[in-house]
Structure 1
């Protein structure tokens, strides 16, 4: 399998995070009376239907061989989806996304704890400045459930990216995404039955539409974190905040203020600095 460069991996993560914002926007636009667990079940099922044709093309790899870590990761993913929907219903789009992008901060210590990933000054500094930018944007005056839910989402995102390295290498990206959604369906179905809400076609359509965006993002994450150590590229996850700001302005009339601009600068400028350092190291090694 060819080696992916750090610069290309970071570019993919930037693109993936911007795409993921559109999935969040669709979820935020859901009516307040939407049955949350039914919507999540629809997301899981429609994702499987979308991915199945791509998995059937390649029948060489055994889909259900060695799926222990797929099972674990699928339920971490499902937990993240549940709290993502709840947090988007409770917070403005830009605020929720700002907290979501605390995920790279959790990647660093968790990566060190699980895999003994090496930490260096540039990656630590970029993450700390990025977190400072998030605090500037959010301006937390009190802890509320929406913010707690969003922080849980950030932790699950970090765990999902780190667990990719535990997955069997013979599974393709499509198979990995299929198993991530398929193995969580029984639990999601149980939650939907417990919820006891009538079937809603609008919720199904929105779930399928948001899946198109989020599956692209998830596929990019699997591809990147399978090739590159998390500490080298995780800061690129912050970039989707710009997309959240733009979408928030257009769709939800969330006009940015000076604190948002300052916070965004604290996130983006260290990212550019980190990418520049990695590019210089790459040129030195290849030159």
Structure 2
């Protein structure tokens, strides 16, 4: 038991730090993305990410770089939509508001899994969906259909679809190779979109794309190593510290102070997710104990 605890603590620390650097990526987007068209910014970020991932390909071991390419191609197009939505939402919403809406992705995953994989929806998961929806309404308080609000929801939907599609990838597929190939498949669509809204690329746009790319790669690597060190159900709740980082970064860099509605809505979104993670962990622990007693009884 002590051994498992020792592995969980550094894994959770990695996730906390990973979410911190992911928030720095958001800061770069919010600060510099407006200096060029959105598709161009995402294209620059994607190309830089590909370059950064190249050295890590040597660390991966799988049957082939293009294994599962059809799923990765689909995920790439979903990611193009999602990242463009992310840039738009971060430009117009506060970091706390945008990230709180992003956190509805796990709620959408449970709905999509029930629809496409016929996974059972429990009363707890249904409650989390309902509370998450109320939380989004409290944060955005929509009086009309606004691009920023729709974009934030678009990010959550695209993240949920991307997560659901992971189940279609071969189990032996290296996460680093998946990231690399997916970003390669994103380039053609981004190039095409950029041609229609081409603007002169500024130094600020390059700095923003570079900073965002570096920190989001660091986040992905932190997540990769953390979930390899420990069981996902025991450390996943550490990811929700990202909301605290969003509030802190918004205050430090953009003088954003979240109001009561944002804090309340964030709580309605994140608390049920932590509740779900706790129940999932308790259920798995009960199954393990039952199996252990069964073996002991034999």
Aligned with 1:157 (options 159, 166, 173): 159
CA-atom RMSD in angstroms? 3.4
Instruction: Map 1:38-117 to 2 at 5 A.
Output: 38-58=40-60, 61-117=63-119
Asked whether the 8 Å contact 1:177–1:215 carries over to 2, the reply is no
Instruction: Map 1:127-142 to 2 at 5 A.
Output: 127-142=129-144
Q: Find the aligned partners of 1:222 and 1:83 in 2 and give their Cα distance.
A: 28
Q: Find the aligned partners of 2:59 and 2:266 in 1 and give their Cα distance.
A: 42
Question: What's the counterpart of residue 295 of structure 2?
Answer: none
Q: Find the aligned partners of 1:234 and 1:143 in 2 and give their Cα distance.
A: 33
Asked whether the 8 Å contact 1:130–1:238 carries over to 2, the reply is no
Question: What's the counterpart of residue 280 of structure 2?
Answer: 278
Q: Find the aligned partners of 1:259 and 1:66 in 2 and give their Cα distance.
A: 43
Report the alpha carbon displacement of residue 15 of structure 1 after superposing the two structures with TM: 6.1
Q: Find the aligned partners of 1:221 and 1:135 in 2 and give their Cα distance.
A: 33
Report the alpha carbon displacement of residue 21 of structure 1 after superposing the two structures with TM: 2.3
Matched, 1:205 2:207: yes
Instruction: Map 1:12-27 to 2 at 5 A.
Output: 16-27=18-29
Q: Find the aligned partners of 1:65 and 1:283 in 2 and give their Cα distance.
A: 34
Report the alpha carbon displacement of residue 229 of structure 1 after superposing the two structures with TM: 10
Q: How many residues align?
A: 280
Q: Which runs of 5 or more residues in structure 1 are unaligned? A: none
Cα–Cα, structure 1 residues 154 and 112, in superposed 2: closer, same or farther, change >3 Å?
same
Which of the pair has more CA radius of gyration? 2
Cα–Cα, structure 1 residues 164 and 31, in superposed 2: closer, same or farther, change >3 Å?
closer
Aligned with 2:35 (options 27, 33, 36): 33
TM-score by length of 2: 0.80
Report the alpha carbon displacement of residue 237 of structure 1 after superposing the two structures with TM: 6.4
SS of 2:35's equivalent? coil
Could you give the per-residue CA deviations for residues 41-75 of structure 1, whole angstroms, max 9, x where no partner exists? 11111111111111134465311234111111111
Cα–Cα, structure 1 residues 64 and 270, in superposed 2: closer, same or farther, change >3 Å?
closer
Report the alpha carbon displacement of residue 203 of structure 1 after superposing the two structures with TM: 1.6
Q: Find the aligned partners of 2:238 and 2:90 in 1 and give their Cα distance.
A: 22
Q: Which runs of 5 or more residues in structure 2 are unaligned? A: 290-298
TM-score by length of 1: 0.83
Matched, 1:242 2:247: no
SS of 2:199's equivalent? coil
Cα–Cα, structure 1 residues 86 and 176, in superposed 2: closer, same or farther, change >3 Å?
same
